[in-house]
Amino acid sequence: MKKHNFSAGPGILPAEVLQKAAEACINFNQYGLSLLEISHRGKNVIEVFDRAEALVKKLLGLGDDYRVIFLQGGASSQFAMVPANFLNTKAAYLNTGVWANRAVKEARFYGETEVVASSEAENFNFIPKNYQIPANADYFHITSNNTIYGTQMHSFPESPVPLICDMSSDIFSHRFDATKFDMIYAGVQKNMGPAGATMVVLKKEMLDRITRKLPTMQNYRTHVDADSMYNTPPVFAVYVSMLTLEWLERNGGIEWAEKRNAAKAECFYNELDRNSMFRGTVAKEDRSWMNANFVLNNPEKESTFSDMLKEAGIIGLAGHRSVGGFRASMYNAMELDSVKVLTDVMKSFEQKHA
């Protein structure tokens, strides 16, 4: 039976990417060695990193005034690196979920941190709006998609200060003006590759804002100057990310991904709103295309619904403990057919148990 993996992360990857990655583990580029055992200083690996950076910039429409680096430590490591490098007087944050909240906590180690708006009082079930970004802040930090709570920013603010965004769970999923951002970072394990690498897209002029004396590994200059290779980098994770970006480019880029993701979101949410057995947990205008949270109107029937999911080959649909219920994660590599299998199960569940 085919499996339909709705796991929130790591996310699924295209089959052709997995095949090429598997081959590289045995014989990378007909080099006679595994990618896992060759030097990161070698020409073959340097070409992978150069290609990955070029693809990121091309897909996002960025020029030579930006650099792309690949780091370890997950996006969570950036919660501290961002303020360490850029918080000199005060930082501003939008608090929209667990990860945004953790970023706020890390920033407070380095200086004054203002939360300009938060949806925490409503269990993060909407994206705050109509807030004021302080013009005297060193930067404004946002989280574009909230994996746990199923909310997503469908537009971005005009910021009077450098705009920094954690895009870990919706990078490359839809079109947006990347030049509005001074920095974007993302763990690659949702829409790009396996866990183990974090992509950082940084406007070069941001490096001039680093004034604090920092440990070598926590300074963005270190990694920009060394082209992501100050120490041994996460070669395999970056290679798989490069393959995924090539797959995305080959199929039509972010415009193609956006049409595909919009179709999946429409398919799922139309059924969610129609079906008498379920309800969503977030404001409709802030629903995420990547992570759709929903609950049963009668929680006592959860085990019955879960059994039907299992019979259909659907896995990874359990909601986060902070929200409960169910969560359908529909990252770039997921096919519309898998979403239709889920909505068919929802329809069948209604017919049997309404």
Q: Which of 99, 170, 182, 286 is catalytic?
A: 99
**Catalytic residue check, 347:** no
**Catalytic residue check, 20:** no
Q: How far is it, in rounded angstroms, from Cα 316 to Cα 318?
A: 6
Q: Which of 166, 170, 182, 286 is catalytic?
A: 166
Cis, bond preceding 10 (omega within 30 deg of 0): yes
Q: Do the Cβ atoms of 192 and 171 come closer than 8 Å?
A: yes
Four-residue CA torsion sign, 143, 149, 155, 157: negative
Q: Which of 138, 170, 182, 190 is catalytic?
A: 190
Residues 6+ positions from 205 with CB-CB distance below 8 Å: 65, 182
Helices (H), the chain: 15-26, 43-60, 74-86, 98-107, 220-225, 235-251, 253-274, 302-311, 336-353
Q: How far is it, in rounded angstroms, from Cα 230 to Cα 105?
A: 28
Q: How far is it, in rounded angstroms, from Cα 338 to Cα 58?
A: 29
Half-sphere exposure of 135 (CA within 13 A, CB side): 1
Q: How far is it, in rounded angstroms, from Cα 199 to Cα 214?
A: 20
Closest to 163 (Cα-Cα) out of 194, 191, 185: 185
What 3-state DSSP class applies to 333? coil
Q: Do the Cβ atoms of 151 and 127 come closer than 8 Å?
A: yes
The gap from C-alpha 192 to its chain's centroid, in whole angstroms, comes to 9
**Catalytic residue check, 99:** yes
Crossing angle of helices 15-26/235-251, nearest 10°?
Answer: 140
Residues 6+ positions from 181 with CB-CB distance below 8 Å: 156, 163, 164, 165, 201, 203
List the catalytic residues.
99, 166, 190
